[in-house]
Amino acid sequence: MRQYEMVVILDPSVDERTVTETFEKLVQVIPNEGGTIDNVDIWGKRKFAYEIDKKVEGIYIVFTFTAKAETSQELDRRLGLNESVMRTKVMRLDAK
């Protein structure tokens, strides 16, 4: 298993009170495939440097998780299919 860091930008129309529940539903594939979510940091609404999909802000979530490479790819695929997710970026963390 490898350790990853992921940044997810949600549509600003998602209610900020339900961001945690929305996030948990989105990343359910990680524990289902035997991985673990190590750390979750919800940054909240932030302004973009440029417009994305005609929007000027989004809700940022940064988290680290440990999973197989296939699980990471499946998570990225599922997030891409969700309409409330504007952007994602997955980075593999180097072993220390």
Lowest mean pLDDT among 15-24, 40-49, 67-76: 15-24
Q: What angle do CA 89, 3, 34 make, to 5 degrees?
A: 105
Cα(57)–Cα(78) distance, integer angstroms: 22
- Give tens-digit pLDDT for 39-67: 999 998 999 999 988 999 999 999 999 99
In this prediction, residue 95 carries a pLDDT of 63
pLDDT above 70 covers what percent of the chain? Answer: 98
Amino acid at 39: N
pLDDT(73) > 80: yes
| Dmax (CA) of the chain | 40
Topology at the third CATH level for domain 2-57+67-86: Alpha-Beta Plaits (3.30.70)
20: confidence class by pLDDT, cuts 50, 70, 90: confident
| Mean pLDDT of all residues belonging to the chain | 89
In this prediction, residue 87 carries a pLDDT of 93
Cα(25)–Cα(38) distance, integer angstroms: 16
DSSP-assigned beta bridge partners for residue 7? 62, 89
DSSP-assigned beta bridge partners for residue 94? none
